[in-house]
Chains A and B, each alone.
Chain A
Amino acid sequence: MANDFAVELREVVKLYGTMAAVDHVSMSIRHNEFFSLLGPSGCGKTTCLRMIAGFERPTSGQILIDSRIMGLTPPFQRNVNTVFQSYALFPHMTVEQNVAFGLEMKGVARAEIARRVGEALALVRLPHLAKRYPKQMSGGQQQRVALARALVNRPKVLLLDEPLGALDLKLRKEMQIELKTLQRDVGITFIYVTHDQEEALTMSDRIAVMSHGKALQIGSPLEIYERPACKFVADFIGETNFLEGRVTAINGEFATLSVGAGQTFTGRRVNGLRVGDPATLSVRPEKMQLVEHPVDGAVNTYEVTVFSIAYVGSDTRVIINLGGQRLDVWEQNSTSTLNPDDYFFKPGEKAWLTFKPENALVLAQ
């Protein structure tokens, strides 16, 4: 088939009053893909999921599941299951009964239900709480029941709205691995909402970064991190330094930018930039180096003042002052030392900042 996708959103808009909670979002999610929606609170992630599940109707645009236009198809006729952000467990049913509900609605045989419920509860490590009621459990336990209740149905597409949000770090990491393994082995398409970028980066095949209802960039974790398409994505994913300026030269893939007090920097350019345009240089802290002596004639190399130093184990986080602007530089601690004097850079002293043009991006304003 020409467009054989598990889920497709075509120019989907959702208005609440005059506010666009989702604003012309298009995305095509492949079969068995782990697809994450990542973005700050209120950017429209839950609204997207609710439209796919069928609880909310798009103001305009189309949603396709398995290449079928959903239109008015009610939720119970869509082959998707949801892990709700608020869990939405049935308070009058035990854990076991909650998990069995979907299978019972489908008329699965009793023995089969018992077996699959047992498996699902084992997967989320709650078999010992099968007879409890949701009220008698912690938030994290309830969240895992919600997960089991959806997983047990083995839907084609699973919609997960921050399914690990309430778990502590250790359990969260464990569940991430479990989920990822399960998704790969069973072959379920995951549409996974999170605002934890590390979670999105480590688990996803692709990520859609959202802001104010728009999908700003859709790509693999590598693409999103290394080639952010705009300032928002560069800023939201990981740490970065911005230097504002104006494009002075374009040279193939690269653009040169003059910033502040006459320094010029060169980095990879995004499409569409022209000489004279205002632009922003984005360079990540780990992609810059501090050196004692600059290489003659090197680009992107300027003398700076070290402002502060913080030792965080794997690296040393240095804040430097470049012509009045503060930048973060992370120096990897590749040699083991106990002597602070081994660092050539010290607060208040001079050092040289340098980075390669291919490690920086020149983004449109």
Chain B
Amino acid sequence: MLQTIRERKSLQLLGLMLPGGFWLILFFALPLALIFAISFMSRDDLSRPALPLTLANYQQTFDPLYINLFLFSVGLSLLTTLITLLIAFPVALFMARLPKRWRNIMTLLVMIPFWTNFLVRTYALQFLMRANGPINTLLLSVGLIDEPAQMLSTPFAVLVGLVYGELPFMILPLYTSLEKFDWSMIEAAQDLGANALKTLAHVMLPLTAPGILAGSILVFVPSVGSYITVELMGGGKINMIGRVIAQQFGQSSNWPFGSAISLLLMIVVTLAALVYFRIGRGERGAV
């Protein structure tokens, strides 16, 4: 009797999970399995993935060229995350302190860029930073520089593009967590003798850690794998791991190698995120 009830229960559960599970399999597990399979293949004469199976693709990723590219990508993405955090925290703080009505308006303003195509926005940014673009024109006319500054096609341009593109993804989780923040905590800390800095370190940051963690992941992960921004802002001169992957699936027609890098990147990023969350949680438990 009990057995059948339990069976029915698990059947029900299965039924509930079916639709979600279906889409998950179709759009996540299946492509992933495909990539996994291809990453162990070699190429035929027409550059199509083919048998025999090989480990060569993975061996190739350990080429210093790709290791350096990977480190550069991670470094630039970490910098992007840090800068967005530094910009977004005051903004989110300001938003959370506004009266309720203004808060909703501000949230809307932060989300407005999403209504415009990302490509279009990046082109706009590219235009701004061009040799004869508005920024250079302005700097020249003010007399701060004598000749147009080379901004595009530098790591700086990519950084600006990434920060610009990812900023809302940092502001929104931070704002969500600051909006829930109980401001009497600050008063309690000050009452107990904590100055502004100590209040920030011991009370504010630990209590807003979930927002900081979420925002950082949301910014870091897409940054590491970013492609469009690198392509447009880097002007073909700056290479990052995402662009390498795109090239393998495009121009180079080396799907097996592209798949191998993709998988490795995914594994590394996932591991990093896990460690990051673990550290974040540890910090919240400590004083």
Binding site for B on A (CB under 8 A): 53-55, 74-76, 80-82, 84, 86, 88-93, 97, 100-102, 104-106, 149-150, 153
**A55 / chain B contacts, CB cutoff of 8 Å:** 187, 190-191
Can you add 9 more A-B contacts, CB < 8 Å, to A53-B187, A88-B187, A90-B188? A55-B190, A55-B191, A76-B193, A81-B191, A88-B185, A101-B202, A101-B287, A102-B193, A104-B287
CA distance A105 to B184 in the complex (A): 18
CA distance A160 to B265 in the complex (A): 56
- Does B287 lie within 8 Å of A84, measured CB to CB? no
- Which of B194, B206, B207, B287 counts the most chain A CB atoms within 10 A? B287
Chain A nearest CB, measured from B203 CB (Å): 6
Let me know if B243 is at the binding interface, CB within 8 A.
Answer: no
- Does A88 lie within 8 Å of B188, measured CB to CB? yes
Let me know if B198 is at the binding interface, CB within 8 A.
Answer: yes
CA distance A109 to B194 in the complex (A): 17
Let me know if B65 is at the binding interface, CB within 8 A.
Answer: no
Considering the complex, which residues of chain B in the window 40-54 have a beta carbon less than 8 Å from any beta carbon of chain A?
Answer: none
- Does A92 lie within 8 Å of B207, measured CB to CB? yes
Chain B nearest CB, measured from A298 CB (Å): 58
- Does A105 lie within 8 Å of B187, measured CB to CB? no
**A74 / chain B contacts, CB cutoff of 8 Å:** 190, 195
CA distance A54 to B193 in the complex (A): 12
**B193 / chain A contacts, CB cutoff of 8 Å:** 76, 102, 105-106, 153
B190-215 vs A, Cβ < 8 Å mask (1 yes, 0 no): 11111100100011001100000000
- Does B206 lie within 8 Å of A92, measured CB to CB? yes
Let me know if B131 is at the binding interface, CB within 8 A.
Answer: no
Let me know if B63 is at the binding interface, CB within 8 A.
Answer: no
Considering the complex, which residues of chain B in the window 131-155 have a beta carbon less than 8 Å from any beta carbon of chain A?
Answer: none
State whether A105 and B188 are in contact (beta carbons under 8 Å apart), knowing that A88-B182, A92-B206 are contacts in the complex: no
Let me know if B189 is at the binding interface, CB within 8 A.
Answer: yes
**B194 / chain A contacts, CB cutoff of 8 Å:** 76, 101, 105
- Which of B185, B188, B189 counts the most chain A CB atoms within 10 A? B188
**B182 / chain A contacts, CB cutoff of 8 Å:** 88
The 8 Å CB contact of B287, one of A54, A93, A102, A106, is A93
- Does B184 lie within 8 Å of A101, measured CB to CB? no
CA distance A100 to B188 in the complex (A): 13
**B188 / chain A contacts, CB cutoff of 8 Å:** 82, 84, 88-90
Let me know if B284 is at the binding interface, CB within 8 A.
Answer: yes
The 4 closest A-B pairs by CB, nearest first: A102-B192, A105-B193, A88-B188, A75-B190
CA distance A84 to B186 in the complex (A): 12
B253-287 vs A, Cβ < 8 Å mask (1 yes, 0 no): 00000000000000000000000000000001101
Chain B nearest CB, measured from A186 CB (Å): 18
CA distance A100 to B189 in the complex (A): 12
- Does A53 lie within 8 Å of B287, measured CB to CB? no
Chain A, Cβ-Cβ closest to B188: A88
- Which of A76, A80, A100 counts the most chain B CB atoms within 10 A? A76
Instruction: Give 21 A-B contacts (CB < 8 Å), ordered by A residue.
Output: A53-B187, A53-B191, A55-B187, A75-B187, A75-B191, A76-B192, A81-B191, A82-B191, A86-B184, A88-B182, A88-B188, A90-B185, A90-B188, A90-B203, A92-B206, A92-B207, A92-B284, A92-B285, A97-B287, A101-B202, A105-B194
Chain B nearest CB, measured from A69 CB (Å): 20
- Does A149 lie within 8 Å of B192, measured CB to CB? yes
CA distance A28 to B135 in the complex (A): 63
- Does B287 lie within 8 Å of A76, measured CB to CB? no
**B187 / chain A contacts, CB cutoff of 8 Å:** 53, 55, 75, 82, 84, 88
- Does B284 lie within 8 Å of A76, measured CB to CB? no
CA distance A105 to B194 in the complex (A): 6
- Does B191 lie within 8 Å of A76, measured CB to CB? yes
Chain B, Cβ-Cβ closest to A101: B192
CA distance A80 to B190 in the complex (A): 11
**A53 / chain B contacts, CB cutoff of 8 Å:** 187, 191
**A149 / chain B contacts, CB cutoff of 8 Å:** 192
**A97 / chain B contacts, CB cutoff of 8 Å:** 287
State whether A105 and B185 are in contact (beta carbons under 8 Å apart), knowing that A75-B191, A81-B192 are contacts in the complex: no
CA distance A80 to B192 in the complex (A): 9
Chain A nearest CB, measured from B277 CB (Å): 16
**A54 / chain B contacts, CB cutoff of 8 Å:** 190
**B202 / chain A contacts, CB cutoff of 8 Å:** 101
